[in-house]
Amino acid sequence: MTCLVEIPTALRALCEGELQVQVPVGNVRSIVRALDERFPGFREQLGQSFAVAIDGELIHDPWLEPVPAGTELHFLPVIAGGQETQVSVNAAYAAPEDVEAAVALLAEAGSQGRVLAGGTDLIVQMRTGQCSPQLLVDVKRIPALGVCELGTEVLRLGAALSSAVLREQPEVRRVFPGLVEAAELIGSEQVQGRASLGGNLCNGSPAADTVPALIVADATCIVAGPTGMREVPVAAFCTGPGETVLGTGELLVELRVPRPPARTSDAYLRFTPRSEMDIAVAGAAARLELGDDGRCRGARVAIGAVAPTALLVPEAAEALVGSDLGEDALEAAAAAVRAASRPIDDVRAPAAFRTHLVGVLSKRVVRIAASRAAGEPG
Ligand SMILES: Cc1cc2nc3c(=O)[nH]c(=O)nc-3n(C[C@H](O)[C@H](O)[C@H](O)COP(=O)(O)OP(=O)(O)OC[C@H]3O[C@@H](n4cnc5c(N)ncnc54)[C@H](O)[C@@H]3O)c2cc1C
């Protein structure tokens, strides 16, 4: 049994000029996967900004919507700005005061429930019709999600902690300058007052600024759900654009970041066409540990906005460890970063430019992290 998919104009070249294709019935998610297998890159190019109509009826929360045999499925662009598709935000609201109550509400609501932290991604998505949850579970009033505690071994960051609060922690900035500089790149003063670290990660954007910085810091997610708590490395948390490992009823409670060894520091850089209020066209983070001889003893390099998720690039670290961080080692690390990246062409930048950029950024960010690790002002 099959249904018919109308190929969006922007994706017709990728789909070999096809206007309509028959695919096996399923739900929107399985159909997108099938199209991605047939036309590699389909899912990435479709991105997150689309609405779905089945036989002409707009579906507000499309991913799990069944697409029956004989129906016609259309992907519709959602245009931010001028022609924005305005959809009224109409959902029930709950503000539990502990993790257990939040998990119970989310589990009961199933696919109709969504966590609301700062709302700087979620409310925009609701207003443009990309999702329409029936229940918003506001987690900002849960004390465990507002924690910011730097201990002797670990930094604990509550998932709902805002960038504005994080950037006011001088000791955290001293130990994790790259993580704090990533958080303070988000949006504007106003956006940072609401935007949380957990929201930046759980939104699943490949361009989220704090994610590469959290990955190089080797951070772990503490997740609560109906069956208890579990831990997931940040590097494995996002599975695709807008997708994470979180299951029904699960809530990100906290990020735990181990204190780095001595003579270790980090940095994050991104490129945006505008100086602010724009998301990364490419981003790179590095954490460098120096030996007593000044050579590189340990390294972690991660990249953002150049693949469906932020990526750790172990080959870049291998090129740096044991080296004197001279030009040859930096160029080898940049080559590894370029090889690992799988960017898309879009309105913000062509893929080849993103690949070039991420190599340049990775060299710069390694130099900054190394000079910070050496105790030089960076
Ligand atoms: C004008 C503007 C500029 C921006 N600039 C940038 C930028 O420069 N860089 C950048 O990276 N981002 C940017 N953003 C995006 C956004 O501000 C960030 O991603 C922000 O960190 C999201 O956090 P939030 O608390 O607002 O998340 P919300 O919008 O509340 O949530 C985002 C998503 O994560 C889920 N979620 C949130 N918290 C949890 C949790 N604890 N457990 C499970 N799921 C959760 C929500 O259900 C939702 O799906 C910008 C947004 C705007 C509006």
- What is the whole-number distance in angstroms between the Cα of residue 201 and the centre of ligand 1? 7
Nearest ligand 1 atom to alpha carbon 252? 42
Report the 10 Å Cβ neighbour count for 346: 14
In this prediction, residues 185-189 reach a mean pLDDT of 93
Q: What is the pLDDT of residue 19?
A: 81
> For the residues of 91-151, what is the DSSP string, one character each?
-EEE--SSHHHHHHHHHHHGGGEEEESS-TTHHHHHHTTS---SEEEE-TT-GGGG-EEE-
- What is the whole-number distance in angstroms between the Cα of residue 117 and the centre of ligand 1? 8
pLDDT above 90 for 65: no
pLDDT confidence bin for 78, thresholds 50/70/90: low
pLDDT above 80 for 301: yes
pLDDT above 90 for 59: no
Comparison of pLDDT for 342 and 278, the residue scoring more: 342
pLDDT confidence bin for 80, thresholds 50/70/90: very low
Residues in contact with ligand 1 (CB, 6 Å cut-off): 114-122, 124, 139, 159, 185-187, 191, 194-196, 198-200, 202-203, 208-209, 246, 251-252, 277, 279
pLDDT confidence bin for 83, thresholds 50/70/90: very low
Within its chain, how far is the Cα of 134 from the centroid? Answer: 24
In this prediction, residues 349-360 reach a mean pLDDT of 94
In this prediction, residues 226-248 reach a mean pLDDT of 97
Please name the residue that has the structure tokens 């066209």.
281
State what percent of residues in the chain have pLDDT above 70.
Answer: 94
Provide the 8-state DSSP code for 321: T
Provide the 8-state DSSP code for 259: P
- Residue to mutate (ligand 1; options 186, 194, 281; most atoms within 8 A of CB): 186
pLDDT above 60 for 85: no
State pTM to two decimals. 0.81
Rounded (to 5) percent helix, strand, coil in the chain: 35, 30, 40
Cα 316 from Cα 114, distance rounded (Å): 37
Nearest ligand 1 atom to alpha carbon 162? 25
pLDDT above 60 for 84: no
pLDDT confidence bin for 349, thresholds 50/70/90: confident
pLDDT above 50 for 107: yes
Comparison of pLDDT for 359 and 79, the residue scoring more: 359
User: Which are the contacts of 40, defined by CB distance < 8 A and separation ≥ 6?
Assistant: none
Q: In this predicted model, what pLDDT tens digit does every residue of 250-275 receive, in sequence order?
A: 999 999 999 999 999 999 999 987 76
Nearest ligand 1 atom to alpha carbon 115? 47
Q: Lowest mean pLDDT: which of 92-106, 221-235, 276-290, 311-325?
A: 276-290
Strands 148-150, 154-158: pairing is antiparallel
- What is the whole-number distance in angstroms between the Cα of residue 120 and the centre of ligand 1? 5
Q: Lowest mean pLDDT: which of 60-69, 137-146, 173-182, 288-297?
A: 60-69
Nearest ligand 1 atom to alpha carbon 121? 29
Query: Smallest Cα–Cα separation from 206: which of 14, 342, 364?
Result: 342
pLDDT above 80 for 338: yes
pLDDT confidence bin for 82, thresholds 50/70/90: very low
CATH numbers and ranges of domains, the chain = 2-77 (3.10.20.30), 92-138 (3.30.43.10), 265-378 (3.30.390.50)
In this prediction, residues 81-89 reach a mean pLDDT of 49
- Residue to mutate (ligand 1; options 84, 93, 105, 120; most atoms within 8 A of CB): 120
How high is the mean pLDDT of the chain?
A: 91
Q: Three-state DSSP class for 345?
A: coil
In this prediction, residues 333-348 reach a mean pLDDT of 92
Q: Three-state DSSP class for 262?
A: coil
- Residue to mutate (ligand 1; options 93, 184, 191; most atoms within 8 A of CB): 191
Contact 129, 60 (CB under 8 A): yes
State what percent of residues in the chain have pLDDT above 90.
Answer: 70
pLDDT confidence bin for 90, thresholds 50/70/90: confident
